[in-house]
Amino acid sequence: MKAVPTSEFGYRGPVQRTIDLKFDLDKGSETTIQAIVSVPYANQSPHRFEWRLGEGVELIQGDLKGTVLFEQNNKKQKIKIVVKGFDEKNVRRFVRFEIFGEQQSRPTFADGIVSSDQENSFEKIVQEVENYKKENSQ
C-alpha cells in the first residue's frame, strides 16, 4: 500500500494531496491561464474547481466554477480562463485555483496561486530553496 500525502493545515481540513496541479500561462493584454490537473486513479465522481481572481483582474472568457471528471488515471485535464488586468506593469496581480473531490470516500484537494510576477513570488523562492537543498544534501 502506497502512502498518500495529506495535509491537516488547509481550510478544508485533512485531505489527500493526490491531485497533480500545474499552471500554463500566456501573458499579454489578455492573459490565458490554464490549470493542468491529473490524478493517479480513474474516478467517476466529479471534482469541483474554482478560480478566484485577485484585485484588478477581470474575467473575459471561461468559467470561474465548474466540474471535471477523471475517467482515466493520469489523464491531464486542462481548465482555462482568459483574464485582463493581469499584466499591468509594476503591479503584482494574483489568480488562485482550487480543485476538490473525493476518492474512495476520502476528500482530495489541490490549490495554487499564479502571480503576474512569478520570478519574485514567494512560491518561486520556496522552490529555489528546495532545489538548493536537494542539490547540496550530499
Other CB atoms closer than 10 Å to residue 83's CB: what's the count?
23
pLDDT digits (tens, 9 = 90+) for 5-14: 444 455 665 5
Q: In the predicted model, what is the mean pLDDT of the chain?
A: 80
User: Could you tell me which of 80, 72, 76 has the C-alpha nearest to residue 35?
Assistant: 80
**C-alpha to C-alpha distance for 37 and 99, rounded to whole angstroms:** 9
What cell numbers appear for 135 in the block?
Answer: 542539490
Secondary structure in 3-state letters for 88-115: CCCCCCEEEEEEEEEECCEEEEEEEEEE
pLDDT band at 126, cuts 50/70/90?
A: low
pLDDT at position 1, please? 34
pLDDT at position 38 over 80 = yes
pLDDT at position 39 over 70 = yes
* 111 beta partners: 98
**C-alpha to C-alpha distance for 65 and 45, rounded to whole angstroms:** 16
User: Could you tell me which of 91, 94, 65, 82 has the C-alpha nearest to residue 27?
Assistant: 82
pLDDT at position 2, please? 36
pTM here? 0.75
pLDDT at position 3, please? 41
pLDDT digits (tens, 9 = 90+) for 90-99: 788 889 999 9
Mean pLDDT in residue range 22-51: 89
Q: What structural domains does the chain harbor?
A: 6-135 (2.60.40.1230)
pLDDT at position 128, please? 65
pLDDT at position 15, please? 61
